[in-house]
């Protein structure tokens, strides 16, 4: 994503349309984190109802997102999702889901909840 695309995306996130879309998706999720871990089958194991954020699983439908294009995640699991998207050149995630969650929880603690510090700590 170039600078202009990044700016447009941030502007989009401020728009009344997205704010409404976001609220509707939160309602669909029942205001609970939808993070699920893969153990042969997906099992929900997060019941967080606070600090919920709406994550785009891809950016191909911006402005016309279907429910399945969006995922409701608590702040920690949102960061875990993004950490898992850091991939090595072979195409595999460089960290396992458990490692990602440990990384995020550690970073959240040491950064006192400052999301920019957390992101910096994770990308080191």
Name the site residues for Zn ion (rule: CB under 5 A): 33, 35, 46, 48, 55, 74, 77
- The smaller minimum CB distance to Zn ion, of residues 68 and 90, is found at 68
- The smaller minimum CB distance to Zn ion, of residues 58 and 124, is found at 58
- Least distance (Å) from Zn ion to the CB of residue 80? 8
- The smaller minimum CB distance to Zn ion, of residues 90 and 114, is found at 114
Q: Beta 42-44 vs 52-56: how paired, if at all?
A: unpaired
- The smaller minimum CB distance to Zn ion, of residues 85 and 124, is found at 85
Separation of alpha carbons 59 and 66, rounded Å:
11
- Least distance (Å) from Zn ion to the CB of residue 88? 20
- Least distance (Å) from Zn ion to the CB of residue 116? 15
- Least distance (Å) from Zn ion to the CB of residue 82? 6
- Closest by alpha carbon to 77, among 111, 46, 39? 46
How does DSSP assign 49-108, residue by residue?
-SSEEEEES-STTTTS--GGGEEEEEHHHHHHHHHHT-B-TTSSBSS-HHHHHHHHHHHH
Separation of alpha carbons 42 and 116, rounded Å:
30
């Amino acid at each position: 994503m170039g600078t202009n695309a990044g700016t447009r995306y941030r502007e989009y996130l401020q728009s009344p349309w997205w704010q409404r879309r976001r609220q509707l998706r939160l309602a669909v999720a029942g205001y609970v984190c939808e993070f699920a871990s893969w153990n042969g089958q997906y099992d929900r194991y997060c019941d967080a109802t606070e600090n919920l954020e709406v994550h785009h699983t891809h950016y191909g439908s911006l402005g016309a997102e279907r429910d399945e294009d969006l995922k409701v995640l608590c702040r920690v699991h949102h960061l875990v999702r993004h950490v898992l998207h850091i991939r090595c050149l072979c195409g595999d995630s460089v960290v396992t889901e458990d490692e990602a969650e440990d990384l995020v929880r550690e970073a959240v603690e040491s950064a006192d909840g400052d999301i920019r510090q957390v992101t910096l700590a994770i990308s080191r």
